[in-house]
Amino acid sequence: PLLQAAGKKKSLNLLELTEAELEEQFVRGDGPGGQATNKTNNCVVLKHIPSGIVVKCHQTRSAEQNRKLAREILQEKVDLFYKGEASDVFKEKKSSEKKKQEKKRRAKENLERKRHLKEMQQLDEK
Protein backbone atom coordinates (compact mmCIF):
# COMPACT_ATOMS: atom_id res chain seq x y z
CA PRO A 1 0.00 0.00 0.00
CA LEU A 2 2.87 2.40 0.70
CA LEU A 3 4.38 1.85 -2.73
CA GLN A 4 1.25 3.10 -4.48
CA ALA A 5 2.16 6.66 -3.51
CA ALA A 6 5.20 6.59 -5.78
CA GLY A 7 5.21 8.09 -9.22
CA LYS A 8 3.08 11.06 -8.30
CA LYS A 9 5.38 13.98 -7.55
CA LYS A 10 9.05 14.81 -7.64
CA SER A 11 10.81 14.68 -4.28
CA LEU A 12 14.22 16.09 -3.55
CA ASN A 13 15.50 13.87 -0.76
CA LEU A 14 15.38 10.38 -2.32
CA LEU A 15 17.72 7.44 -2.00
CA GLU A 16 20.17 7.18 -4.90
CA LEU A 17 20.12 4.15 -7.19
CA THR A 18 23.20 2.72 -8.86
CA GLU A 19 23.06 1.09 -12.29
CA ALA A 20 24.67 -2.06 -10.82
CA GLU A 21 21.55 -2.57 -8.65
CA LEU A 22 19.21 -2.37 -11.65
CA GLU A 23 18.11 -4.97 -14.17
CA GLU A 24 16.53 -3.52 -17.31
CA GLN A 25 14.45 -5.15 -20.04
CA PHE A 26 12.63 -3.82 -23.06
CA VAL A 27 9.36 -5.55 -23.85
CA ARG A 28 6.35 -4.91 -26.05
CA GLY A 29 3.85 -2.61 -24.45
CA ASP A 30 0.18 -3.35 -24.00
CA GLY A 31 -2.99 -1.35 -24.28
CA PRO A 32 -4.27 0.89 -27.06
CA GLY A 33 -2.03 1.95 -29.92
CA GLY A 34 -2.33 -0.88 -32.43
CA GLN A 35 0.69 -1.38 -34.65
CA ALA A 36 2.67 1.32 -32.83
CA THR A 37 2.73 -0.78 -29.65
CA ASN A 38 2.52 -4.24 -31.17
CA LYS A 39 5.75 -3.98 -33.17
CA THR A 40 8.04 -1.94 -30.91
CA ASN A 41 9.81 -2.94 -27.72
CA ASN A 42 9.67 0.44 -26.00
CA CYS A 43 8.08 -0.63 -22.72
CA VAL A 44 10.72 -0.64 -19.97
CA VAL A 45 10.71 -3.20 -17.16
CA LEU A 46 13.12 -2.10 -14.45
CA LYS A 47 13.95 -4.23 -11.40
CA HIS A 48 15.79 -3.14 -8.27
CA ILE A 49 17.66 -6.32 -7.38
CA PRO A 50 18.27 -5.75 -3.61
CA SER A 51 14.61 -4.97 -2.81
CA GLY A 52 12.95 -6.95 -5.63
CA ILE A 53 10.78 -3.99 -6.66
CA VAL A 54 9.74 -4.07 -10.33
CA VAL A 55 8.47 -1.10 -12.35
CA LYS A 56 6.93 -1.31 -15.82
CA CYS A 57 6.78 1.96 -17.73
CA HIS A 58 5.08 2.49 -21.10
CA GLN A 59 3.90 6.08 -20.83
CA THR A 60 5.43 7.37 -24.07
CA ARG A 61 6.42 5.99 -27.48
CA SER A 62 10.08 6.75 -26.80
CA ALA A 63 12.16 4.04 -25.13
CA GLU A 64 14.58 6.67 -23.76
CA GLN A 65 11.81 8.69 -22.12
CA ASN A 66 10.32 5.51 -20.69
CA ARG A 67 13.75 4.57 -19.28
CA LYS A 68 14.00 7.93 -17.54
CA LEU A 69 10.44 7.79 -16.19
CA ALA A 70 10.88 4.21 -14.98
CA ARG A 71 14.00 5.19 -13.05
CA GLU A 72 12.22 8.13 -11.40
CA ILE A 73 9.27 5.96 -10.36
CA LEU A 74 11.55 3.16 -9.16
CA GLN A 75 13.62 5.63 -7.14
CA GLU A 76 10.47 6.84 -5.37
CA LYS A 77 9.28 3.29 -4.71
CA VAL A 78 12.67 2.22 -3.33
CA ASP A 79 12.72 5.33 -1.11
CA LEU A 80 9.26 4.41 0.20
CA PHE A 81 10.33 0.79 0.68
CA TYR A 82 13.32 1.66 2.86
CA LYS A 83 12.12 4.83 4.64
CA GLY A 84 8.43 3.99 4.99
CA GLU A 85 6.38 6.78 6.54
CA ALA A 86 9.49 8.96 6.97
CA SER A 87 9.82 9.24 3.19
CA ASP A 88 9.17 12.58 1.47
CA VAL A 89 7.00 10.78 -1.09
CA PHE A 90 4.74 9.45 1.66
CA LYS A 91 4.52 12.87 3.33
CA GLU A 92 3.59 14.53 0.01
CA LYS A 93 0.91 11.92 -0.62
CA LYS A 94 -0.58 12.42 2.84
CA SER A 95 -0.62 16.21 2.52
CA SER A 96 -2.27 16.05 -0.91
CA GLU A 97 -4.91 13.67 0.48
CA LYS A 98 -5.62 16.11 3.33
CA LYS A 99 -5.98 18.99 0.87
CA LYS A 100 -8.33 16.94 -1.26
CA GLN A 101 -10.49 16.01 1.74
CA GLU A 102 -10.60 19.63 2.89
CA LYS A 103 -11.65 20.75 -0.59
CA LYS A 104 -14.44 18.12 -0.63
CA ARG A 105 -15.60 19.21 2.82
CA ARG A 106 -15.77 22.88 1.77
CA ALA A 107 -17.64 22.00 -1.43
CA LYS A 108 -20.16 19.99 0.58
CA GLU A 109 -20.67 22.88 3.03
CA ASN A 110 -21.20 25.31 0.15
CA LEU A 111 -23.74 22.97 -1.41
CA GLU A 112 -25.63 22.73 1.89
CA ARG A 113 -25.64 26.52 2.23
CA LYS A 114 -27.04 26.88 -1.29
CA ARG A 115 -29.77 24.32 -0.58
CA HIS A 116 -30.67 26.06 2.64
CA LEU A 117 -30.80 29.45 0.90
CA LYS A 118 -32.99 28.05 -1.86
CA GLU A 119 -35.38 26.53 0.69
CA MET A 120 -35.59 29.84 2.53
CA GLN A 121 -36.37 31.68 -0.71
CA GLN A 122 -39.13 29.18 -1.56
CA LEU A 123 -40.65 29.63 1.90
CA ASP A 124 -40.56 33.43 1.50
CA GLU A 125 -42.35 33.18 -1.84
CA LYS A 126 -45.23 31.21 -0.30
Count each helix (H run) and each strand (E run) in the chain, helices first: 3, 3
The tens place of each residue's pLDDT in the chain, 126 residues long, gives 455 555 555 556 677 788 888 999 998 887 777 777 778 888 999 999 999 999 999 988 888 999 999 998 898 888 888 887 777 778 888 888 899 999 999 999 999 999 999 999 988 887
Which architecture does CATH list for 19-84?
A: 2-Layer Sandwich (3.30)
pTM summary value: 0.63
56: part of which helix (H) or strand (E)?
Answer: strand 53-57
